[in-house]
Structure 1
Amino acid sequence: MLEIERVKFGIQGLDKALNSGIPKGNLVLVSGGAGTGKTTFSLQFLVNGALLFGEKGLYISTEQNVSELRKAAANFGWKLEELEKSGMVRLKYLNILKGDSFLKNIRAECEDFQPKRVVIDSLTTLTDSILVTDLKEDIAFSVVQVAETVNPIPRTERIVAKTILYHLIDALRAISSTVLLTSELLEDEKGLSADEVSEFITDGVIILYYFGVGATEARSMIIRKMRYTAHEKKSILYDIFNDGIRVVSEEEAYKL
């Protein structure tokens, strides 16, 4: 029987829930609302990859610039600049409204840096502001504000988003890295992502939740799917501490 190579988060309890980690090369959607810690979760995936497992990581952000990401990481004692200088982590901010080819930029960064782990943060920003303008031979596309040129019919926007996402997923599969893709998830949304498409075309889906009961608040995650491995089906309680995200027991969760 072929043994599956794994990529670990380095978060005790989560790797166990994933049967020792994400299958290598999987593309995993990380979806959640405000306050769930999507950026922290993603940064920790890269930081732990570099420090604990010696794996290079690339963080591509369409929302926060490099300086903001470094500040966010510093809150947890993660010295990204040192990891950048050592060649273990690379941060890249892509302004999707400049009209540059998003896929070409991703390809160029991956070919140059050769990361084992990649984070795309976020799909929501991308699909909210896209228009296919050059889906040609190299399946690259440029991005401009969609409101100016796309008929605002939900079905039309969904088709455009689906087309873009399929090409993005194909491009990410070609680089053979293990990838996290973040997405906003509002409380009243029916799907598992803002675009309601990416959950179907990625290999895995991890949903992060933030909820409160009276004066008590807690966070939980659910692994909704993960191809090529068995995984925990129940909710996993976690919280955000001064050293990052940790899985906690039910007793710990409601004492925090």
Structure 2
Amino acid sequence: MTSENSTGSTQKIAIITGGSRGIGRSTVLNLAKRGVRSIFTYKSNQAEADRVVALAAEAGATAIALQLDAGNAAEFAGFVESVRSALAKMEADRFDYLVNNAGTSSAATLANGTEAEIDAQFNVHFKGVFLLTQALLPHINDGGRIINISSGLARFALNGRAIYGPMKAAVEALTRYMALELGPRRITVNVVAPGAIATDFSGGIVRDNPQVNQMVADHTALGRVGLPDDVGQVIAGLLSEEFGWVNAQRIEVAGGVHI
């Protein structure tokens, strides 16, 4: 089953984890502007998810919100069934793009990091990305696209990111292995590494703390912190046909931070 847009071409479908806020929300809406429909996840804030569904419709594309804790692998089998139902509503049986965006912050240092925090970060940033992608592979079209989300903190080190940064570095290594194994299906896999973005991530510290905001701007070549659309637009672009020969690459979207 396929669905066609007004021009008669097959309309693409994306799955985005963590699509109710920040970079994920921007990705859903920028894809909608391109006519790409979305199935996106939210962890707990259904009202925000419903708002994104409405905004996507205003932008010209259907979006369906599904609840998921991306750090709880026990939910993935049920989520895949929900995806199948959502695809049926879109008169499709497969999707084209997967964006593994969902994540949580950690301010742990080597001195105070705990086993529980290591496990929580591992579950959402690495284990969740690995196992959810694995579970969805039978349902993604050959020739599809996968984008994983890393961080500038996988390239440079800052105090208070001794767990978070290395977890994102692991995602970057995983991306290369995914690209290798999925090459025979012509599925590309790349990683986008944002810099500091003005969202509610990490309690909104970059967005809401003037001192932190200025510090980031002072260390960024373009002289400001990033905004969600700075990244969401890049992700939407990378999913397009024009970037089909880009594979197994790390694309840092950070305005030139800590060059």
Q: Which has the higher contact order (CA 8 A, sep 6+)?
A: 1
- The TM-score normalised by the length of structure 1 is 0.45
Structure ranking higher in strand proportion: 1
